[in-house]
Amino acid sequence: MSDDTLNMTDETNGDFPKTERTKLKRLPKRGAFDRQTVYGILDEGFVCHVGFVADGHPVVIPTAYGRAGDVVYIHGSRASRMLRAAGAGAEVCVTVTLIDGLVLARSAFHHSMNYRSVVIFGTARAVESDEEKTEALRAFTEHVMRGRWDDVRWPSARELSQTTVLALALEEASAKVRTGPPIDDEEDYEMKVWAGVVPLETVVGEAVPDPRLPAETPLPEYVERFDVSTRNES
């Protein structure tokens, strides 16, 4: 594996190209193809949904992921149907969605949500080398909690052999974002019905120590100052 694979901080410049699969056919003004928007959503999310076809049937599986530069890594057991199908060359569609608010309109028809979402299309490749597998697991661990990788035990050769890792290049992707108040029909603005946005956010609670943790073990600073929306910012 080249140094470019391991050191993925210098991301490709420019917007993602609009393709037949990524261009928005409904409400295209909400679309975004710049990498800053797409990567920002990916870095804030925790779970992606992977869509693929297995044995002639469509399947969508939620799973955790990690991003390293222009690559999204997905990993799991070798027995995973999703990883076997995608690793064998099946095309996949990966989505990540963040919900920012409930949009309550004056009419039932115009109720909506404020959200940020990303859709990625492509064919994943199976990661073969232990070196890149380790990098993928580092990306996954740091995606969950930045600073954690340096504290934990790294994967053993046996653990790596039991793990399937897929790498999906970020080449065909787009974002869609809705913000702002409800958009009602003009005549409905005269209705005496409350309308507006109820914000939603993920709240970080107090860390709960493992029951088997020695009492003198200090809480890491990165856990104490953990914030969901800014956890992957430099």
- Give the tens place of pLDDT for each residue, 43-59: 999 999 999 888 888 99
Best CA proximity match to 116, nearest among 127, 101, 94, 137: 101
**Phi and psi at residue 143, in whole multiples of 5°?**
-65, -40
Residue 78 zone, left/alpha/beta (φ > 0; ψ -120 to 50; rest):
alpha
When mean pLDDT is compared across 7-16, 57-66, 143-152, 214-223, the lowest value belongs to 7-16
Q: Is the pTM of this model over 0.95?
A: no
Residue 79 is predicted with a pLDDT of 67
Estimate to the nearest angstrom the gap between the alpha carbon of 180 and the chain centroid: 23
Task: Write out pLDDT tens, residues 153-193.
Answer: 999 999 999 888 999 999 999 999 999 999 999 999 999 99
Whether residue 28 has pLDDT greater than 60:
yes
Contact 166, 74 (CB under 8 A): yes
Which is nearest to 80 in space by CA: 70, 95, 90, 69?
Answer: 90
Rounded Cα distance between 132 and 206, Å, is 34
More confident residue, 198 or 88: 198
Domains in the chain: ranges and CATH: 3-100+114-181 (2.30.110.10)
Average pLDDT over residues 75-84: 75
Task: Give how far the C-alpha of residue 135 lies from the chain's centroid of Cα atoms, to the nearest Å.
Answer: 17
For 107, residues 6+ apart whose C-beta sits below 8 A from its C-beta are: 184, 185, 188
pLDDT at 2: 37
Contact (Cβ atoms closer than 8 angstroms) between residue 127 and residue 140: no
